[in-house]
Amino acid sequence: MDERRIRVLVAKPGLDGHDRGAKVVARALRDAGMEVIYTGLRQTPEMVAEAALQEDVDVVGLSILSGAHMALVPRILELLKANGQEHVRVFIGGIIPDEDVPKLTELGVVGIYGPGTLTDHIVNDVQQAVYG
């Protein structure tokens, strides 16, 4: 009956075509009991924000390998806010150079994960971010 589950949108904005990492993370979140909405490749920021709204997610996970994160992420955060979803926690996985990490954190990104991150670590962070 009264059952609440963490809902996560896993999206790949931008043009790179590798979604293996996104799928591994989606699977790990699923195995931790979360409901993961997977949207597939080549999403525009508008598509990501729209899906986050319709699905009423608690968390958005973005996988970006293309180097376009400084263009895509601020735009997505802006759209989430414009839709009234400023409470949604945003995580990023992929290839993010060290010097961009503080800038993204400043913008409100909760966690940034590079290659080699343990999935348990991500699962913990997501649970922490939602349940506090």
Partner 1 sequence: MMCSKRYMVSHTPDTSLSHSKRLANSVLAGERLALARLLSQIENDSPIGRQALGELFPSTGSAYLIGITGAPGTGKSTLVNRLAHYYRHPPSDEEPYQVAIVAVDPSSPFSGGAILGDRVRMRDLAGDPGVFIRSMASRGSLGGLAHATGRVVQVFDAAGFEIILIETMGAGQAEVDVASLAHTTIVVEAPGFGDDIQAVKAGILEIADILVINKADRPGVENTERALNMMLQLAHPTERVFRHHGRDEMFAEPVSPNLDEVPWTPPVLKTIATEGRGIPDVIAAIADHRAYLQKTGAREYSDRIRLQAELDSLLQDNLVARWRTSVSKRKYQQVLDLIVQRELSPHQAVDVLLDGSQLHEILRSDSFAADGEEQ
CB of 49 vs partner 1, minimal distance in Å = 10
Q: What is the largest CA-CA distance in the chain?
A: 47
- Whether 61 and 11 have beta carbons less than 8 Å apart is answered as yes
Rank residues 28 and 112 by Cβ distance to partner 1 and give the closer one: 28
Smaller CB separation from partner 1, 56 or 114: 56
Phi, psi of 32 (to 5 degrees): -90, 10
What residues line the site for partner 1 (CB under 8 A)? Answer: 1-7, 26-27, 29-40, 43-44, 46-47, 50-51, 53-56, 58, 83-85, 87, 130-132
- Compute how many other C-beta atoms are within 10 angstroms of the C-beta atom of residue 110: 18
Tokens matching residue 50 = 């729209």
Shortest Å, Cβ 5 to partner 1: 7
